[in-house]
Amino acid sequence: MRGEQMTLADRIDLLFRTVHPAGGKPYSLEYVASGIEKITGEKISANAIWKLRKGKSANPTKKTIEGLAGFFGVPPSYFFDEAPERAGEELRLLAAMRDGRGARLRSFLDLSPAGQEMVAELIAYAAHMEQGKDDTSDQKDTE
């Protein structure tokens, strides 16, 4: 969705596809409806959530937005933010924090600033390598 404006339906669908229990399947519409009711005290049907997710309905109540935000662990502004790329990146990070990788990611916060910088550089290097842009072989040839 880079360069495009994400619709409300796109954002809700992204939540369903990205945020789910560690090692588990995505949440069902019924489970989310039940969770929203627990958060807001207002009953919402699985069909109403399906309509929002599919773009058949685009005018949720404030309580529904608050319930969806609370259930999926995002701020209500997620549904209106102008930067869809950032929203997707933040959701992937949130999903990583919730699954088995979360403990390792949380331990990053326990590192000193120098340790965090070292890990950040290692991550950047690994990402660079995975993209097939390893320029270190050129450096070795010239040494």
pLDDT at 4 over 70: no
pLDDT at 43 over 80: yes
Q: What is the pLDDT of residue 9?
A: 94
**DSSP assignments along 60-89, one per residue:** --HHHHHHHHHHHT--GGGGT-S-HHHHHH
In angstroms, the CA 10 to CA 54 distance is 8
Give the closest residue to 44 by CA, choosing from 34, 56, 54, 59: 34
Per-residue pLDDT tens over the stretch 50-67: 999 999 998 899 999 999
pLDDT at 25 over 90: no
Other CB atoms within a 10 A radius of the CB of residue 111 amount to 13
pLDDT at 137 over 60: no
Q: Does pTM surpass 0.85?
A: no
